[in-house]
Amino acid sequence: MQVLGIDVGGSAVKGLPVDTDAGATLAERVRIPTPEPATPEAVAEAVKQVAASFGWSGPMGCGFPAVVQNGMVRTAANIDPGWIGADVAALLSTATGCPTTVLNDADAAGLAEMRFGAGRNASGVVVVVTVGTGLGTAVFTNGKLLPNSELGHLLLHDMKAEHYASDAARKRLDLSWDDWGGRFNEYLRHLESLFWPTLIIIGGGASKKFDRFSGSLVLRTPVVPAFLRNDAGMIGAAAAAAERRAGGTSRGEG
Ligand code: BGC
């Protein structure tokens, strides 16, 4: 099936058409800076522009940087608080005219990696961590997702882990890759002591820079970069939409 995959992030709204059987992208992505403030109306308009740039009227899947239950936004750590309680699936469907499935952005990226990427043959517990404006997580057991895990909000040094070790924290504090890598390693060690995964996959914008900080990671668990890099969120959102449509529903995970 061909589905438009959208990734709403802290810095950009991105989209491209995806072949959801192959997990392959079908065009160059379109990227629009995330509007400020990123209110529901402004973000819906940005998504509409991305869809329009492909002349899209078919199904759409969208990764969104918050807890999303049954199409409804429940949290707003890195987006406008006006999103809380919004029916993002309905809003984007109405704005674009495309039937839209919405799920958490890290869950979307994780699904893509488990189906088509670095976690394809992985069994046991796999934790996917997306590093960007926040720290997103997706937890899988034998390929099955535990949705909305929100492990970027675990406490580390009395603060939310994503305030200590996200890519935004690296930029804000102007940390060297070694210094940031040390922080990120602490975070991953905390995760591994709680979840005992068999594999950790690093996604998000920082996955492209994996070589710059992989030397700082000292863990008992194998850690690999996302195979689909930063496209994973769009591919996974499209794949989730295709799966839910096949299952007779176009609502988000919850
Ligand atoms: C949000 C998560 C999201 C992550 C990455 C966190 O602040 O709470 O829902 O997955 O950022 O965007």
Domains of the chain: which residue ranges? 2-107+231-246, 121-226
Judged on CB neighbours under 10 Å (0-12, 13-18, 19+), 49 is: middle
CA of 27 to the centre of ligand 1 (A): 27
**Fold identical between 2-107+231-246 and 121-226?**
yes
Residue with structure tokens 């059987």?
21
Q: Which of 6, 67, 69, 78 to mutate to test the pocket of ligand 1 (most atoms within 8 A of CB)?
A: 78
Return mean pLDDT, the chain: 96
Residue-wise pLDDT tens digits, 59-108: 999 999 999 999 999 999 989 999 999 999 999 999 999 999 999 999 99
Residue 244: phi and psi, rounded to 5, are -70, -35
CA of 9 to the centre of ligand 1 (A): 9
- pTM of the full structure: 0.96
Pick the residue whose CA is nearest to atom 5 on ligand 1. Answer: 136
Residue-wise pLDDT tens digits, 1-46: 999 999 999 889 999 999 999 999 999 999 999 999 999 999 999 9
The residue among 38, 40, 39, 57 whose CA lies nearest residue 92 is 40
Residue-wise pLDDT tens digits, 12-21: 999 999 999 9
CA of 148 to the centre of ligand 1 (A): 9
What integer is the mean pLDDT of 180-195? 98
Contact (Cβ atoms closer than 8 angstroms) between residue 225 and residue 250: no
Q: Which CATH number fits domain 2-107+231-246: 3.90.660.10, 3.30.365.10, 3.40.50.300, 3.30.420.40?
A: 3.30.420.40
pLDDT reading at 252 higher than 90:
no
pLDDT for the residue numbered 249:
52
121-226: CATH number: 3.30.420.40
pLDDT reading at 201 higher than 50:
yes
152 close to ligand 1 (CB < 6 Angstrom): yes
